[in-house]
Structure 1
Amino acid sequence: MTQTCESDNALPIEIQHSALVQLLANSLVLSQTAPYLSCYDVLNLAAAARALRFLVYHTPDVFRRLELGTVKTAQFDVDAVDRGGETWRNVQLDETLTEDDFYSGPLRGIFSNLRRLDILRDVQVLSLDGLSVTAELIHDILIDPSFSVRILSIRGVKNLNERKLRGALQYACRESRPEGTPRLRGLYVFGSKDTPAASAPKNDSRSPSPTSPAGVAAAWNDRSQKALTDVFAVEPEAWYVRRGDQLPIRVSSDWASTLVACAGVIAFDSVLCTGPRHFNSPAWGSVSIEALDAAASASAPAVPHFGIATHSLDGCASCGSAPEGWTVWGEEVFASQRDPDGRRTSESCMADLARFPLLAPPPMHSASLRVAMCPTGQTVRSRLPFIPQGKQQKARFIPRCFDCIRDRYCGGCRRWWCESCYIGPRASSPGEHAGSHAGPDSAHVFKSCWECGMNCKECIDHTQRMCQRCGGGYCLIHNEGSNMVAVCPSPGF
């Protein structure tokens, strides 16, 4: 093997480049390899030889996926312009420079260069995570015909006016929009940006010899450390595998109306809550809203007509399901909407896709929404190789907002009770509301934990952690090891 490598290195540079050109001339090899290279590496490859430059700049799939989060010229490390008289040094600002031009200057410069090289029209999956992105720049991506972006990721960006962004999205998805617009079909905006892969450790000239006992021990330590790092780096897939809170930041309630306006046009990395208290729920009208409002906590706000889902749940701890049912990947809800030839219409397909969130990271080799939404291991255009239908388990979850699980969800064990099994902590008896129980345990009425506001049969034991006079108590997390509630913090006790 050593002799072969030495003989290959001894070949003339022209022959080595020719072999690489012949390999990359296969469009399948080039399109599958380019997404794993950074922009810097792709441009260096194009500068190596004229033949490679021709392949890189004349193959559309090379720049189909563009990630600018690691590009140095795209970084923006300057604070806000107006800092109360702060003196700027080595910076010349034009009087006609707008705030958008200032904050989006690095990205607009890159887009201008890509447009000049006739590359911008080939970009279909664009990642701007962590950069300085303005709402005006997103508006240009939506309406400018020079952009062909179908999936956009702006997670963890800076200097973004969300109110203007919501207005731009609603305007782009209006009913009177021109046919074929917007080209954008998927937007990653709620999740956290992807963590970069850990770089390989640098070789140290002072390290012991690989053949010495110390060198062998060091090598095994490095392997163990790498194995542990890889194990902890694998995070369960959002929504379908990982339960509980899915969004790392607090999301404004105004986003729900934006998701309603963009339904069937642009998909997001979250979905609308399907709780029976919302108009879009399949179970709307099946649960008494007056009973839920009467049994809710005094501090609970009114539930809006639409809500954005922030939690992924399993089935109810009592009945194993939910009034609205499960969201199952691949399940057709609007299958009856078909054209005269028996084929499903594009409107019904997009309405089906609006029920599923985009999964991180954005797809590597495709700009299809189904690929971006498909859970790992599923056969509906799955990201993994084909799995026999008989051995495949359905990927499903129940999307809920916090208002629809308030007083009925435990943050410790991530179990919850649906509206049909548990009305709320203020229900006085099991027979107060027809078809419902007074709580997780029908013999006792549990209030929420005084610290975290959660309630669960296992987390608040009525014999050890619950006050018999007021019905409140501490959960296992905030119990601090005591066997009984010593002091009742409720007023009047």
Structure 2
Amino acid sequence: MTQNIQGPSHLPAEVQHSALLQLLTNSLILCHTTPYLSCYDVLNLGATSRAFRYLVHHTPQVFRRLELATVKAAQFDIDAIDHGGQTWRNVRVDESLTEDDFYSGPLRGIFSSLRRHDILRDVQVLSLDGLSVTAELIHDILIDPSYAIRILSIRDARNLNERKLRASLKYACRESRATGTPKLKGLYVFGPKDAAPGLLSTKPTVPPTAGVASTWNNKSQKALTADLVDEPEAWYARRGQQFPRRISSEWAATLIDCDGVIAFDAVLCTGPRHLNSPAWGTVSIEALDAASNPASRSVPHYGVATHSLGGCASCGAAPEGWTVWGEDRFAAARDACERRTSNSSSSDIGRFPLLAPPPMHSSNLKAAMCPTGQSIKSRLSSLSSTRQEKARFIPRCFDCIRDRYCASCCRWWCENCYLGPWASGLGGHGGATDTEADLARVTKSCWECGMNCHECIDFTQRMCHRCGGGYCLIHNEGSNMIACDCKAFHSFSH
């Protein structure tokens, strides 16, 4: 153990005269410490002496994870170039300067400096959250062999042309690509960037003369901070909508093109209306269209999942089954998908989403996808199913849960238990069966979808004073003037 701490004999003699150097020459301690330091702090550590410089710049794992969001030189505080005729002052712009050079200038300058110091080749996990990132810069990371980045995070990036980014990803994942390319295996792009640690650890100061109200405000602030720190894990623990912004439908084709090559922090919807679903063909699409809201009858062939669901409120399952961590794709479902699309893959890349934040001590893709408390190895996850509950979820897009999902309590009804608000029977507004009381259009059920969810619908606030009909949160959100079945407009009390 003493020899391991002292390190190899080829290190300079100054290593033996510093306790900190002796500690950090243990590569295990050094590689588990540097991810918590900023790049600026690590470089300052290497600038203190020749021994530290040798230690920092000759240990490849030191710069394995690089986060540039906190680097001052990477910030881009200039607005768009075209200000509608406004005059720029104190700024000289070269006529040959392209838009990409302008917006990606800070990051390209940092990458050039890292390349000169032989640091860029060691970076495997790179975070550019909230910075000015262009699609051309991502294209270079995908194609340029000097980059060894395996996991990239560009959440809430500015000046990013998503159309060009999708084209670059499609080109990088083409079937005629060279063996071993692209090196990038994981891309965080849809979710929000991680909250700054300083915001979560800030404690409000209460003056000595503060009263009872200030004391309780302080306690409430601490409770809120604890809730933010212990936020449920996306997809597996946190149900409902997963992303704060709308995702373009064109991203579904990109996820199809990158299936088995690059993983994202989102997955494809597995609803039975989509061609990639294991349940495609098991549910009558014509019956669903006839019983659904006219706005939801045009569902694309593929869709990006934006909601994580549990089991159906009636049957506790879903037609396509669960997405369970550690279980391989079912052979029948895989064969069915291969008959419908030529580029389907049995790999976990594309089946499981990347979980935020990116891994601290590893560049392994499975480490970025593995839920908390589960094993990275799929075989061990299957063997440990008797000791702990398996992490699982049902990914769905909004088109597949419209008229069958409650945004308040996150309960939903599958296609086998509830066809839609225009299904035959129950006065033309009922469900698939007459035995489901929750889906029947009875008094105090939603006029639009027929659901009767007591946890989310407060009909003392959402019922018509004339006919007694009400609307659920889905069909009455943001409005207090709605036409009910009595063919008249009535105000809803608030």
Q: TM-score range by the shorter chain?
A: 0.7 to 0.9
Call closer, same or farther: CA 1:172–1:223 in 2, change over 3 Å: same
Confirm or deny that 1:56 pairs with 2:68: no
Query: Mean Cα displacement is larger for which, 161-170 or 466-475?
Result: 466-475
Is contact 2:260-2:350 (8 Å) kept?
A: yes
Partners of 2:219 and 2:42 lie apart in 1 by 30
Alignment of 1:295-310 (within 5 A): 295-310=291-306
Alignment correspondent of 2:364 = 368
Q: Which runs of 5+ in 2 are unaligned?
A: 1-13, 334-342, 489-494
2:68 maps to a residue whose letter is L
Is contact 1:371-1:381 (8 Å) kept?
A: no
Call closer, same or farther: CA 1:18–1:261 in 2, change over 3 Å: same
Alignment of 1:206-217 (within 5 A): none
Confirm or deny that 1:237 pairs with 2:233: yes
Partners of 2:93 and 2:421 lie apart in 1 by 59
1:50 maps to a residue whose letter is R
* Matched-pair identity in %: 69
Call closer, same or farther: CA 1:486–1:267 in 2, change over 3 Å: closer
Partners of 2:432 and 2:129 lie apart in 1 by 46
Call closer, same or farther: CA 1:207–1:297 in 2, change over 3 Å: closer
Structure 1 residue 207 displacement after superposition: 8.4
Alignment correspondent of 2:65 = 65
Is contact 1:313-1:397 (8 Å) kept?
A: yes
Structure 1 residue 163 displacement after superposition: 0.3
TM-score (norm 1): 0.82
Is contact 1:273-1:400 (8 Å) kept?
A: yes
CA RMSD of aligned residues (A): 3.9
Partners of 1:447 and 1:279 lie apart in 2 by 37
Partners of 1:222 and 1:361 lie apart in 2 by 28
Call closer, same or farther: CA 1:411–1:348 in 2, change over 3 Å: closer
Alignment correspondent of 2:8 = none
Call closer, same or farther: CA 1:446–1:135 in 2, change over 3 Å: farther
Structure 1 residue 406 displacement after superposition: 0.5
2:438 maps to a residue whose letter is D
Is contact 2:240-2:410 (8 Å) kept?
A: yes
Query: Helix, strand or coil for the counterpart of 1:398?
Result: strand
Structure 1 residue 442 displacement after superposition: 5.3
Alignment correspondent of 2:10 = none
Is contact 1:328-1:395 (8 Å) kept?
A: yes
Structure 1 residue 296 displacement after superposition: 1.1
1:296 maps to a residue whose letter is S
Partners of 2:428 and 2:472 lie apart in 1 by 26
Alignment correspondent of 2:417 = 421
2:113 maps to a residue whose letter is N
Alignment of 1:77-476 (within 5 A): 77-198=77-198, 226=222, 229-333=225-329, 351-381=347-377, 390-429=386-425, 436-437=432-433, 441=438, 443-444=440-441, 455-458=451-454, 459-460=456-457, 473-475=470-472
Structure 1 residue 159 displacement after superposition: 0.2
Is contact 1:407-1:448 (8 Å) kept?
A: no
Structure 1 residue 397 displacement after superposition: 0.3
Structure 1 residue 474 displacement after superposition: 2.2
2:171 maps to a residue whose letter is Y
Structure 1 residue 477 displacement after superposition: 9.3
Alignment correspondent of 1:11 = none
Query: Helix, strand or coil for the counterpart of 2:187?
Result: strand
Partners of 1:272 and 1:454 lie apart in 2 by 28
Partners of 2:472 and 2:203 lie apart in 1 by 47
1:274 maps to a residue whose letter is T
Structure 1 residue 64 displacement after superposition: 0.3
Q: Cα deviations across residues 379-425 of structure 1 (Å, max 9, x unaligned)? A: 2359xxxx965431100000000000000001111100000000000
Structure 1 residue 231 displacement after superposition: 3.6
Call closer, same or farther: CA 1:456–1:170 in 2, change over 3 Å: farther
Call closer, same or farther: CA 1:88–1:350 in 2, change over 3 Å: farther
Q: Cα deviations across residues 246-290 of structure 1 (Å, max 9, x unaligned)? A: 011100000000000000000000000000000000000000000
Is contact 1:428-1:445 (8 Å) kept?
A: no
